[in-house]
């Protein structure tokens, strides 16, 4: 996709915020624990490579992604630290996993056996780093029972081309106030740990929510994702133990303003009609950029004032009702601070009836990312 460098709409990423969020979490870790920064989905929309570099400055010792291609992107950008792919990768891509020195999630016995056959048939002996995923109640990927997990571990240990690097699970309710189901998952994972004769280098169960609110779980590595970007995993449900600094600001500029008389229709479908003489400003961002049509009726900030989005949001533009006439080129803040007021990504998520994770990941690649 073409990046819109030649229009005023842009996402500004505060790398210092990422560094500080990572550093603050590392201060809370035991001395034998590590933090892997999760930079999947293009760093939750913030830019994978640059956020990875910032996280490394903050103290991250490794990275997590979802796709093989995301891992390759980091390697080709010069990232040398451990990289774990959290999802399943087809066994036919093992040569790429080896070439780029990547760690892979193993979720089924069938995959292990296919991988073993593939490795045995390679011209030279190679070692594949694997992390066993246990499904303790997420229902996504992973081994479903203690016996199946132990069988997989035994398979890995009996073959000389695997390195058993990690064992992990994922909690589905760690960001909720009721921890009943969370504790059930903890118990399930602990039963597997108790059955092990030896443990791998990494035991990791802590996503951002678990790291923030459940420090009692057994783990020596955390997968620090959404909180690294300064966003509370629970939305506004649970207070963070320290201040999370939001890293993303979304801004644009007015490209035209006009004074329209009463009964003027605005946008497709004429869903908004001026109730009197109104100043209308046009902002060059629309649903093709991830500023979705459901944002109609929301407010943005212009010169420290809330201005309502009026009419349907178009593919490339939207219109706002200005409090007063301002100059073309005046900055419009869609997410972030403008003078003494602020629009947060959580506020946008509530307008859309979703979570801020989705908001951050929805912003199109055609919006340039600027790093400061």
Candidates 10, 15, 40, 53; catalytic one: 40
How does strand 331-338 pair with strand 299-302?
A: antiparallel
268 catalytic per annotation: yes
- Between CA 105 and CA 288 the distance in angstroms is 34
From the number of C-beta atoms within 10 Å of its C-beta (0-12, 13-18, 19+), residue 136 rates as buried
- Between CA 88 and CA 67 the distance in angstroms is 8
Integer angstrom CA distances of residue 145 from 149, 189, 204: 6, 10, 18
- Between CA 221 and CA 65 the distance in angstroms is 15
Candidates 99, 258, 268, 339; catalytic one: 268
Residue 75 labelled as part of a binding site: no
Integer angstrom CA distances of residue 255 from 7, 258, 278, 280, 366: 9, 10, 17, 11, 18
359 neighbors 348 (Cβ within 8 angstroms): yes
53 catalytic per annotation: no
Residue from 162, 220, 167, 214 nearest 195 by CA = 167
Q: Which residues touch 270 (CB under 8 Å, ≥6 apart)?
A: none
Write out the binding residues for substrate.
140, 315
* Residues in the annotated binding site: 140, 315
The catalytic site residues sit at 40, 268
């Amino acid at each position: 996709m073409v990046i819109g460098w030649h229009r005023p709409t842009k996402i500004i990423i505060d790398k210092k915020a990422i560094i500080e969020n990572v550093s603050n979490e590392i201060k809370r870790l035991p001395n034998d624990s590590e933090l892997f920064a999760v930079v999947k989905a293009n760093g939750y929309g913030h830019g994978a490579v640059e956020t990875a570099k910032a996280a490394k400055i903050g103290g991250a010792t490794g990275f997590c992604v979802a796709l093989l291609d995301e891992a390759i992107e980091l390697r080709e950008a010069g990232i040398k630290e451990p990289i774990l792919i959290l999802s399943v990768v087809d066994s036919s891509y093992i040569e790429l996993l080896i070439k780029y020195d990547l760690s892979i999630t193993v979720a089924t016995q069938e995959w292990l056996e296919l991988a073993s056959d593939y490795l045995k048939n390679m011209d030279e002996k190679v070692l594949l780093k694997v992390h066993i995923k246990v499904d303790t109640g997420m229902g996504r990927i992973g081994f479903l029972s203690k016996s199946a997990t132990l069988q997989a571990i035994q398979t890995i240990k009996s073959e000389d081309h695997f390195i058993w690097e990690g064992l992990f699970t994922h909690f589905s309710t760690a960001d909720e106030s009721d921890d009943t189901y969370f504790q059930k998952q903890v118990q399930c994972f602990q039963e597997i740990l108790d059955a092990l004769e030896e443990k791998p280098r990494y035991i990791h169960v802590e996503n951002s929510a678990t790291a923030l609110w459940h420090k009692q779980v057994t783990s020596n590595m955390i997968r620090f994702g959404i909180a690294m970007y300064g966003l509370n995993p629970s939305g506004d449900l649970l207070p963070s133990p320290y201040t999370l600094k939001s890293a993303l600001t979304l801004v644009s500029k007015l490209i035209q303003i006009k004074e329209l008389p009463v009964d003027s229709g605005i946008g497709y479908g004429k869903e908004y009609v001026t109730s009197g003489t109104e100043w209308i400003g046009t902002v060059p961002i629309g649903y093709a950029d991830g500023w979705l049509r459901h944002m109609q009726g929301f407010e943005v900030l212009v010169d420290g004032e809330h201005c309502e989005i009026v009419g349907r949001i178009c593919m490339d533009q939207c219109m706002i009702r200005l409090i007063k006439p301002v100059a073309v080129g005046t900055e419009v803040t869609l997410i972030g601070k403008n003078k003494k007021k602020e629009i947060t990504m959580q506020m946008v998520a509530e307008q859309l009836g979703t979570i801020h994770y989705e908001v951050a990941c929805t912003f199109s690649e055609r919006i340039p990312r600027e790093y400061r």
